[in-house]
Amino acid sequence: MSSEQAGEDPDEALVAAILDAEREAELAELIRSPARVEALIEQNALGLDFDLALDLSGGLAALGFHHTARLVALTAFADANAKVMAAGQLALGWIELSRGKHRKALAAIEDLAGNTDIDVFAEAAYLRGVILESRGRHAQAAVEYERAIGMPRRKSAGQAALSLAEMLSAAGDDEQAVEVLAVALECGVAHVVPQAALQLALIRDRSGDVEGAIPLYREAMESGLPSAAPRGAFHLGEILLGAGTSRVPRRPSRRPTPPETRNSPRRPGSTSGPSTWTRTGCPRRSPASRRPPARRTGTSRRSGTATPAWSSPTPTRRPRSGTCARR
């Protein structure tokens, strides 16, 4: 007997999952068909909402359809709904960032700083964090990521947590990166959770907790996500074929040293809050602290001598002949 016949309400989580799957399928079809998207825009039949405007324009831009992505963003920006219009501004910011135009990206979302809508605020904070991080302003980026993490919008919180954890881990603060990754692992976003599992697996593997890394590598591998599955499969294979060891480089866990100017007044016009460097700041490494990659050696097939793995045999120069030789 079905749940409807029994007078029972259907499982809300199952209904939400089905709707999400249907929406993802429709979105994927639109992203692969920029001509159809443009036709729907001309017919005023695209039916944009906040999430669709962001996801559709972002997906099109990621595939290189920048013209269509911009049309979607401008269509959203011209919408009568204030939230959809804000999504258009955010979409324009992402497009400018994909083109390497950091200032234009910040300018596109400048007036969203005071927006009181939870979704708009969270997405704007996450985008500002990505822009600031890409410009090397890690301490300010961490503040924006924390703002997004503190909002109830799971998608923004999960993405911001993943970005902040990667930034902390790159600075050597694996301990705090693990704490932040808990948010990304629990956000429930399909393209965030496998990447968070991979990041946590790398940290555990690097610290010597191979047994704890194995199920996380497997989760990343089984997700099929291009940004997580191949690396998860590679490191899992290394462990299983290498007698329980992996070649993930290990480094001592350390916290970033707070700068001497952490209590100094900020520059006029700065909109960032109080400095949180001692908690989540990530300083850029100086050139002197960067270690050169370890040289690998291999055995030459001809001479049997050790040669650098990246070197190639010197090509034999052939004598020129004909017209080219006379010139």
Q: What is the pLDDT of residue 260?
A: 38
Q: What is the pLDDT of residue 62?
A: 86
Alpha-carbon span 73 to 61, nearest angstrom? 11
**pLDDT tens across the length of the chain (327 residues):** 444 444 445 555 555 555 566 777 888 888 999 999 999 999 999 999 999 999 999 999 888 899 999 999 999 999 999 999 999 999 999 999 988 899 999 999 988 878 889 999 999 999 999 999 999 999 999 999 999 999 999 999 999 999 999 999 999 999 999 999 999 999 988 889 999 999 999 999 999 999 999 999 999 999 998 889 999 999 999 998 875 555 565 554 444 443 333 333 333 333 334 333 333 444 444 444 444 444 444 444 444 444 443 344 444 444 454 444 444
Q: What is the pLDDT of residue 113?
A: 79
What residue segments make up the domains of the chain, in order of their start?
A: 17-105, 113-180, 190-246
Alpha-carbon span 217 to 198, nearest angstrom? 6
Q: What is the pLDDT of residue 102?
A: 92
Q: What is the pLDDT of residue 14?
A: 52
Helix 82-98, helix 50-62: angle, nearest 10: 20
Residue 10's CB: how many other CB atoms inside 10 A?
A: 11
Residue in the structure block whose two tokens are 């199952």: 14
Domain 113-180: which CATH number of 2.60.40, 1.25.40, 3.40.190, 1.10.357: 1.25.40
Three-state secondary structure of the chain: CCCCCCCCCCCHHHHHHHHHHHHHHHHHHHHCCHHHHHHHHHCCCCCCCHHHHHHHHHHHHHCCCHHHHHHHHHHHHCCCCHHHHHHHHHHHHHHHHHCCCHHHHHHHCHHHCCCCCHHHHHHHHHHHHHHHHHCCCHHHHHHHHHHHHCCCCHHHHHHHHHHHHHHHHHCCCHHHHHHHHHHHHHCCCCCCHHHHHHHHHHHHHHHCCHHHHHHHHHHHHHHCCCCCHHHHHHHHHHHHHCCCCCCCCCCCCCCCCCCCCCCCCCCCCCCCCCCCHHHHCCCCCCHHHCCCCCCCEEECCCCCCEEECCCCCCCCCCCCCHHHHHC
Global pTM value: 0.68
Residue 113's CB: how many other CB atoms inside 10 A?
A: 11
Radius of gyration of the chain (CA): 25
Alpha-carbon span 46 to 18, nearest angstrom? 22
